C-alpha cells in the first residue's frame, strides 16, 4: 500500500505522539497533610499537575489517537499497489472522421489490447476508457470530429502515469489512419514529451490524392478588395474552394470535394444572425492562421443555427467566425468576417494564409489525405519502450480506502465524546466523596 499524499499521514503521526505525551501529564490529588484547623479550607477539589510513569485515561487516549491517525490516513489517500509486470501499453484508438473502416479499427485494437493496458479513444478530444474496456472496444465507431493527435498524446502521458506502478516499461501504440489533418503545430512538441518510440498501426483506406488540383476561385466584382488576396495566392498555397461574394450567385460553383464559400461583402451570411450589439474585436484564427486586426462584428452564429456544422474559424474570444456544413460531395461554408477596403489587410501575408485556410478542401476530402512520410517518422520516433521512471505518479487517483478511514475517524470521535462525558461525571462524584471524608475528619 502507498499514499498519494503522505504528508497528511506524517502530520497525523506527529499530532498523535503529542497527544500521547500529554496523557503522561496527569492531574491528581496531592498527599494529605495535618492542619491545625480546616476552618479556612474551601470546599473544592484539591488537585495538582504532575508527571506520571504511565499515561492516564488509556481508553480516552487510544480513541483520540485513533481519530487522528484514521483522519490523517484518509486524507493521505491510501491505495493498494498492484503487482507489477514487465510491460504495459497505452493504446490510442482513432475514432475521428478519418477512420473510414470501423471494423478494421475494432479488430486491430482488440488484437493489441491486454489486461491492465490503457486505452485512449480520441477524435477532436481524447479520453481514457475506465471500466469495461473490452465492451468499449466492441462499440468503437467513427465520429464526425476531426482527429487531434496532440490531445491524444497528452492523454497518453496521463495514462502512462497511471500505469507506472503496473509495469517496468510502457509502450505507446497508435491505431489510426493518420490523416494529414490530424497533425497540428503542437504535435511534434507534444510527441517529444514521450520518452521512447511509438508503434504505428495504420488502418482505414487512404483517398486517392492524385486528382488535379484547381486554383482558388472567386465570384465577385472587379473592385472587391478580396480579389487582390485571391489573385496573390498560388495554386500550392490555396485549396480548391470557390469564394462567392454576391448572394445571388450562391449556387454558381461546386465540385468534388470543393468548398463553396459564402462570404458576403455586407449582407447576412447563411445561418448567421444579426448581433444585438455590434462590437470590434482584434483578431480571428482558422487552423494555424491568425490575423490580428480590428474587425467589426455585425453577425453571430447562435448555437441552434449551426447544429450539424463545424466551426472552421473563431474570433479570439472563442466565438465562431466561420462554419462548414456538408453538401453532397462538397461542402458549404459561411463566413462572417468583414474585409475592409481601407488599409493593407488584403495584401498582408497573414491574411493570405488565413484565406488559404478558409478555402482548403472540405472535411470529406481532407480527412482522407494521408500524412507524409516525414510526419510519420517524427511520430514514430526512435529508441525502445519508455521506462516507468520517466513518468510522474498521478496525484488525482481515487482512493477506495479513504472514505472508510474517514468514517472510522468520525465514529471514534463520537465515541471519544461519550467516554470523556462519562469521565467528567465520575470526577465530581469522587470529589464530593473526598470532601465529605475531610469534613468528617
3-state SS class at 291: strand
Contact of 387 with 168, CB cutoff 8 Å = yes
Task: Tell me the CA distances in angstroms from 330 to 68, 208, 242, 255, 325, one per residue in order.
Answer: 67, 16, 11, 6, 9
Helix, strand or coil, per DSSP, at residue 2: strand
Q: Of 359, 385, 401, 372, give the one whose Cα is nearest residue 167.
A: 385
Whether 28 and 48 have beta carbons less than 8 Å apart is answered as yes
Read off the C-alpha cell for 244.
462567392
pLDDT of amino acid 252: 46
Q: What are the DSSP calls for 215-272, one per residue?
A: --EEES-TT-THHHHHHHS-TTTS-S-EEE-SGGGTTS---TT-EEEE--SSSPPTT-
pLDDT given at position 19: 86
- pLDDT value at residue 109: 92
Kindly state the DSSP code that residue 59 receives in the 8-state scheme: H
* Separation of alpha carbons 124 and 357, rounded Å: 18
Q: What pLDDT is attached to residue 91? A: 94
Locus of grid cell 475528619: 441
Matching residue, cell 486524507? 75
Tell me what pLDDT residue 433 has. 54
**Per-residue pLDDT tens for 41-59?**
666 555 555 555 666 678 8
Phi and psi angles of residue 66, each rounded to the nearest 5 degrees, phi first: -65, -40
Q: Identify the residue whose cell numbers are 497528511.
A: 8
Give the CA angle between residues 124, 126, 130 to the nearest 5°.
150
Which residue positions in the chain have pLDDT lower than 50? 206, 208-211, 249-254, 438, 440-441
78-79/2-3 β-pairing? antiparallel
Q: What are phi and psi of 44, to 5 degrees?
A: -130, 155
CA distance 284 to 337: 9
Counting every residue written for the chain, the total comes to 441
Question: Do 161 and 393 form a contact (C-beta atoms < 8 A)?
Answer: yes
**Alpha carbons 252 and 265: distance in angstroms, whole number:** 17
Q: How far apart are CA 258 and CA 219, in angstroms?
A: 14
Dump pLDDT digits (tens) for 363-421: 777 777 788 889 999 999 888 888 878 887 766 567 778 888 888 889 988 988 888 88
Q: What is the structure's pLDDT at 14? A: 92
Q: State the pTM of this model.
A: 0.59
CA distances (Å), origin 418, targets 65, 167, 223, 430: 16, 49, 90, 19
Cell numbers describing residue 223: 473592385
- pLDDT for residue 210: 43
Amino acid at each position: 500500500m502507498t499514499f498519494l499524499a503522505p504528508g497528511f499521514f506524517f502530520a497525523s503521526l506527529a499530532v498523535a505522539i503529542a497527544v500521547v505525551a500529554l496523557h503522561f501529564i496527569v492531574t491528581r490529588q496531592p498527599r494529605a497533610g495535618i492542619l491545625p484547623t480546616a476552618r479556612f479550607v474551601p470546599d473544592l477539589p484539591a488537585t495538582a499537575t504532575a508527571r506520571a510513569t504511565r499515561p492516564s485515561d488509556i481508553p480516552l487516549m487510544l480513541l483520540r489517537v485513533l481519530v487522528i491517525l484514521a483522519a490523517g490516513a484518509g486524507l493521505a489517500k491510501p491505495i493498494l499497489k498492484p503487482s507489477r509486470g514487465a510491460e504495459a501499453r497505452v493504446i490510442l484508438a482513432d475514432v475521428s472522421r478519418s477512420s473510414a473502416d470501423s471494423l478494421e479499427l475494432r479488430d486491430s485494437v482488440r488484437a493489441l489490447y491486454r489486461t491492465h493496458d490503457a486505452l485512449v479513444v480520441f477524435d477532436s478530444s481524447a479520453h481514457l476508457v475506465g471500466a469495461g474496456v473490452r465492451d468499449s472496444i466492441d462499440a468503437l465507431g467513427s465520429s464526425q470530429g476531426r482527429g487531434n493527435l496532440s490531445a491524444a498524446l497528452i492523454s497518453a502521458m496521463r495514462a502512462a502515469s497511471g500505469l507506472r506502478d503496473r509495469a517496468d516499461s510502457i509502450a505507446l501504440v497508435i491505431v489510426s489512419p493518420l490523416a494529414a489533418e490530424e497533425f497540428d503545430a503542437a504535435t511534434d512538441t507534444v510527441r517529444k514529451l514521450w520518452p521512447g518510440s511509438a508503434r504505428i498501426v495504420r488502418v482505414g483506406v487512404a483517398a486517392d490524392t492524385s486528382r488535379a488540383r484547381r486554383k482558388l476561385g472567386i465570384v465577385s466584382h472587379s473592385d472587391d478588395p478580396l480579389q487582390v488576396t485571391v489573385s496573390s495566392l498560388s495554386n500550392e498555397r490555396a485549396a480548391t474552394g470557390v469564394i462567392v461574394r454576391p448572394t445571388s450567385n450562391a449556387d454558381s460553383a461546386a465540385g468534388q470535394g470543393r468548398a463553396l464559400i459564402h462570404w458576403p461583402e455586407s449582407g447576412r451570411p447563411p445561418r448567421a444572425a444579426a448581433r444585438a450589439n455590434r462590437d470590434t474585436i482584434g483578431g480571428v484564427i482558422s487552423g494555424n492562421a491568425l490575423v490580428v486586426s480590428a474587425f467589426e462584428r455585425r453577425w453571430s452564429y447562435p448555437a441552434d443555427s449551426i447544429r450539424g456544422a463545424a466551426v472552421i474559424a473563431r474570433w479570439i474570444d472563442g466565438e465562431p467566425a466561420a462554419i462548414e456544413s456538408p453538401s453532397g460531395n462538397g461542402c458549404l461554408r459561411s463566413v462572417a468576417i468583414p474585409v475592409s477596403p481601407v488599409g493593407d489587410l488584403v495584401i498582408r501575408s497573414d491574411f493570405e494564409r488565413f484565406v488559404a485556410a478558409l478555402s482548403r478542401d472540405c472535411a470529406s476530402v481532407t480527412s482522407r489525405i494521408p500524412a507524409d512520410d516525414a510526419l510519420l517518422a517524427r511520430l514514430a520516433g526512435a529508441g525502445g519502450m519508455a521506462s516507468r521512471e520517466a513518468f510522474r505518479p498521478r496525484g488525482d487517483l481515487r482512493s477506495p480506502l479513504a472514505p472508510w478511514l474517514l468514517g472510522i475517524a468520525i465514529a471514534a470521535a463520537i465515541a471519544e465524546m461519550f467516554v470523556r462525558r462519562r469521565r467528567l461525571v465520575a470526577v465530581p462524584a469522587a470529589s464530593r466523596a473526598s470532601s465529605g471524608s475531610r469534613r468528617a475528619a
